[in-house]
A and B are shown apart, each in its own frame.
Chain A
Amino acid sequence: MTTTVSDTTPVPLAVGERTWVRPLKALISYAILFLLATMFIYPFLLAISTSFKTLPEINQNSVGLIPQTFTLEGYERLFSFNVGRWTINSALVATIITVLNLFFASLAGYALARIPFPGSRLAFLGILGTMMIPGIVLIIPMFIVLKTLGLLNNYGGLIIPKVVTAFGIFLMKQFFESVPKELEEAARIDGATQFQTFFRVILPTARPALVALIIFSFQGAWNDFMHPLIVVTTNQSLYTLPLGLALLRGGMGQNLLWNSLLAGSMLTTVPMAIIFFIFQRYFIEGISYSGIKG
């Protein structure tokens, strides 16, 4: 049992096909995949293009991909705001939350999946249950708790309540359940403690799930709106990107300045896309790594 990272030989196409069937099938598959890709990315491309259009043009032709008059007025307005500060706040908060989430959620997820301790079932149901209450009804109580603990208008308030999420725990627990039991039994026989087993044996196998958790935690914190809204309302130097971008929209009326609004949403989307692109590679590396070993 040497595999530390589980390996996948992909599900093959059918066995025993004629030689020309394969390229044809591949061609059709790629055609469909590219079509799907277009469908998934078109709104994003349109948002980019619209961020470079003038307002009158957006109103006359809302779906054209090429701006007729290229303008930077959207970005000019965007950068007249304190976007640098908002971005730094968001990045800082999201990074800390992600790191702590990785640690706490995998600890709790492992305990719930693999340590049959008294009360574990109840604890899990409780954690799962917290996801089932609409968050909107909890914001005033949350505000009161934050105020009581002195966590309004500071980074602590932005970060501490979010360092472990039910989603993360649930994700890790479900993942650990699919890891073969033999792994840790072997470690236990060697006399490792629970904590050693977890750190040295289990955690390394969890790389795909940890990558998924990194992506989701970062994204969750990066896009969170309601929580920062109640924590830092009166202190604009602590605003995160989503809060700042809501300012761009303006409060009342229908006069949406589309170009700057979409320029702003590019500012939130592009960093996330880069993070995703970087981390999704580890899904692949997982395979090749174990492929060598296996």
Chain B
Amino acid sequence: MSKKWFTFLLVALMAMLLVACGGGTTETTAEPTADAGEVAEPTEEMAAEPTEEMAEEPTEEAAAPSGDMIELQLMGWSSSDAENARLQEMVDTYNANNPGVNVTLSQVPDYDTVLQTAMAGGEPPDVFYIDSFRLPDYVAADSLMPIGDQMDDPDDFFPSLRQAFTINDTFWCPPKDFSTLALQYNKDMFDAAGLEYPTPDWTWDDLRAAAETLTDEEAGVYGLVLPADMARWIAFLYQAGGTVANDDFSAMTLDSPEALEATDFYVNLVLDGFAAQPSDLDSGWPGEAFGKGTAAMALEGNWIVPFLQDQFPDLNWGVTEMPAGPGGDATMAFTVCYGVAADAPNPEESIALANWLTGAEGMAQWTDLGLAMPTRASLSDAWLEQFPDLEPFLAGADYARPWQFRPGFNDVMNAFNSGLQQAFTGTYTTDQVLSDTQEAGTEVLGNQ
């Protein structure tokens, strides 16, 4: 049925082109004729293979012989200059050591749009980044090849990160690096208030008490900066012992007392005036408020480190692990993997590339910038030696939860954030936030 439709559209397209070209050459003036000439050539190509499925075509280009070279395309988003340059160096190393394979690196803007368009258009890159949050969508679309267990020593990856790329017991793709949430604190502000610096054994009560002491509303300074963002709140949910949904995602579990406790704690920090949203601190995100010194503490991930170094080089700050809640320790792991397309024309070479990039050699090169952390336990000691100050981020790997749910979960996140924004202004109760999200989640899970 749908295939018929598709062929029909293709035929219609061809017919239109032919009519247009014919018309163009006989009737119109010089310029349109030139146009028609330009498009005429590909039309013939099409006529030769009119019913071919789009998806099967990339083979042609990739297999196009340039000697016996196998061409691979590695695609990711454009990141910081240092990371972009490093990845290019790694690709150069790989090409030098692997005659017969030529990897081209594309670091693109608007990555999600570009990747999705290329995939749907039947021109997927061979190896590409996938964020753990987006993984379920790509798996549901049958667009990935399961390659996780084909990596060297897959058990060396931290379990929390393997879990982030595991769906229905399949380990889809190897994590390239990761970040965790930790607690950043402004040492000068703690000193001025005569407070001890936070420690890894802090609890919610310690966090709240310190935030209260550090807040000076008249001076516009708050103890803590909290965004209306599910990706931060969820750490508190896990610390309270709650969950978003049950293990097999057959039902949402945000109607639990733990969820309410976490949400109350989070929202009350703001309503009681010990914490503020970034927007109330003249900032676009928590890191900025923390850098400006309008908030004494922030709960962000590794990405705050280069930011503070670049934009607030004089700030005197430290970092420790997230506080524990009534349900124990928890933090979030944000991670990205190297995926290989389901119908990759050169599966063997693509998998080998992903394996090298996430293997001991590639991973060590990648993470010695100190920006993101190695996903292999065997590499963590060497990394810690290099970056001892960042230990609290790495320590989180042991109890981190993955940022990965089910396809279409973006809707659930939007529902939650929308509710939380209203709860922060006092127009919504925490009950309402959770029941809205529960409802949205139930709808999303029900559609699968």
Contact = CB atoms under 8 A, between A and B. Distances in A.
Interface string A234-272: 101000000100110111111101000000000000000
Given A140-B121, A144-B54, A254-B285, A160 B106 contact: no
B31 A252 contact: no
B350 to A, nearest CB: 16
Interface stretch (A18-26, A121-129, A145-153, A200-208): A145-153
B81 interface: yes
Interface string A196-238: 0000000000000000000000000000000001100110100
A169 interface: no
Given A100-B31, A254-B307, A59 B109 contact: no
Contact of A255 (B17, B42, B303): B303
B39 interface: yes
A47 interface: no
**Quick one: which of B13, B54, B117, B122 has the most chain A CB within 10 A?**
B117
A103 B123 CA distance: 35
Contacts of A160: 35, 38-39
Interface stretch (B135-143, B287-295, B324-332, B397-405): B287-295
A20 B285 CA distance: 56
Interface string B35-59: 1001101110110000000100100
Nearest to A242: B109
A255 B307 CA distance: 5
A106 to B, nearest CB: 13
B121 A257 contact: no
A234 B376 CA distance: 31
B109 A249 contact: yes
A254 B123 contact: no
B303 A254 contact: yes
Interface stretch (B200-208, B308-316, B415-423): B308-316
Interface in A85-100: 100
Chain B: interface size category? 35 or more
B114 A229 contact: yes
Contacts of B314: 56
B79 A252 contact: yes
Contacts of B38: 156, 160
B118 A148 contact: no
A214 B32 CA distance: 19
Interface in B147-192: none
Interface size class of A (residues with CB under 8 A): 35 or more
Interface in B259-286: 284-285
A187 interface: no
Contact of A152 (B46, B123, B288): B123
A149 B307 CA distance: 44
Contact of A149 (B42, B123, B312, B313): B42
B121 A233 contact: no
Given A233-B108, A250-B80, A148 B42 contact: yes
A56 B114 CA distance: 33
Of the candidates B42, B306, B312, the one having the most CB atoms from chain A within 10 angstroms of its own CB is B42
Interface string B94-138: 000000000010111111011011101111010000000000000
B33 interface: no
Nearest to B315: A56
Given A59-B292, A234-B106, A255-B80, 14 more contacts: A55-B311, A59-B312, A143-B120, A145-B13, A147-B123, A149-B39, A150-B41, A163-B35, A229-B109, A251-B77, A253-B79, A253-B303, A254-B288, A255-B306
23 contacts: A60-B292, A139-B113, A143-B121, A144-B122, A145-B13, A147-B123, A149-B17, A160-B38, A233-B106, A233-B108, A233-B114, A243-B109, A250-B80, A251-B77, A251-B111, A252-B77, A253-B307, A254-B285, A254-B288, A255-B80, A255-B303, A255-B306, A257-B310
